[in-house]
Amino acid sequence: MARATDIAPVVLPAVPQGVAHRHDLAAVFGNNHPVELELGVGKGRFLIQSAEQNPGVNFLGVEWAGRYFRLVAERAARRGLANFRIVRDDAAHLVRDNLADACIAVLHIYFPDPWPKARHHKRRLIQPPFARQCARVLQPGGLVRLATDHEDYAQQMEQVFLADPDFTPTWRAVGADAPQGVTNWEQKFRAQGRTIHKFEFRRVTS
Ligand SMILES: C[S@@+](CC[C@H](N)C(=O)[O-])C[C@H]1O[C@@H](n2cnc3c(N)ncnc32)[C@H](O)[C@@H]1O
C-alpha cells in the first residue's frame, strides 16, 4: 500500500480566528528571502511552479477548500520544496490578522470567486478594507497582481485599488493583450474563449 505523503514540512498551521498572532515569516522559512503570497491557490500550479523556478524566493499560499489544500500540500511535499508553505484558512483572515506589516513582496490574486449575484457582492474578497490590509502587508514598492474573467468584478478590482491612496497602477491588459499565465483556472477559461482581465498595482514607497 502506498504511504501517505507527510505534508507537515510544507504546512503553515492556521491561526484560529480571535487568536492574536502574526507569523514571523523569516522564522517560518528559515531565511530572509522575499516572500510572495497567493490567495486562493486552487490546484497550485502557479505557486508550485514558481517555487521550483525561484529557489531564492519564498512562496506562501492560502486555500480554503480542504481538498485543494491537501492536493497542493502533497504535491509540494513530494517535490521537497523548502521555499514553499501553504495554510488552510480564509484569505481575508490570514491577510488581516496573521501577517506582519511590510512582510510580502508580491501578492498574487488570480480568479478569486466572483460572487456574480448582486446580493452576494459583499462576499467578494476585493473590497476597500481588504485593499487597506494589502497595503499594510506589502513592502513599499511591493506589487499586487490580479486576474479575473468576470467583467463586473474586474471593474470592482480596478476601482478599489485605484481609490486606495497607497497604490498606483503599473499596468492593465484585457483579452488578447493579457499575458499568458499558468494558473489552472486561467488555462480553463482561455480554452473556453473567455476574456481575461489582468492588473498590477504597486504599493507606493512613502
Ligand atoms: C476560481 S479558483 C482559482 C484558483 C487559482 N487561483 C487559479 O487561478 O487557478 C478560486 C480558489 O479560491 C479558493 N477560495 C475561495 N474563497 C477563498 C477564501 N476566502 N480563502 C481562501 N481561498 C478561497 C477556492 O477554494 C478556489 O480554490
DSSP secondary structure of 1-70? -PPPP--GGGBPPPPPTT----B-HHHHHTS---EEEEES-TT-HHHHHHHHH-TTSEEEEEE--HHHHH
Domain spans of the chain, in order of start? 31-203
pLDDT of residue 180: 86
- Could you say which of 101, 113, 149, 177 is catalytic? 113
Q: What superfamily in CATH does domain 31-203 come from?
A: Vaccinia Virus protein VP39 (3.40.50.150)
| Residue 152 among the catalytic residues | no
Q: Give every residue of the chain whose pLDDT is below 50, as ranges.
A: none
Round to whole Å and give the CA distance between 98 and 40: 16
Q: How far from 84 is each of 27, 61, 87, 88, 166, CA to CA, in Å?
A: 13, 8, 10, 14, 28
74: β partners: none
pLDDT of residue 2: 67
Q: Which amino acid is at 116?
A: P
What's the grid cell of residue 41?
Answer: 491557490
* Residues contacting residue 87 through CB under 8 Å, at least 6 positions apart: 11, 12, 13, 14, 60, 61, 62, 63, 94
pLDDT of residue 1: 64
pLDDT of residue 111: 98
* Residues contacting residue 173 through CB under 8 Å, at least 6 positions apart: 179, 197, 198
Ligand 1 atom at shortest distance from the alpha carbon of 43: 9
Report residues whose beta carbon is within 6 angstroms of any ligand 1 atom. Answer: 40-42, 62-65, 68, 90-91, 110-111, 113, 183-186
Ligand 1 atom at shortest distance from the alpha carbon of 91: 20
- pTM for this structure? 0.97
What's the grid cell of residue 146?
Answer: 490580479
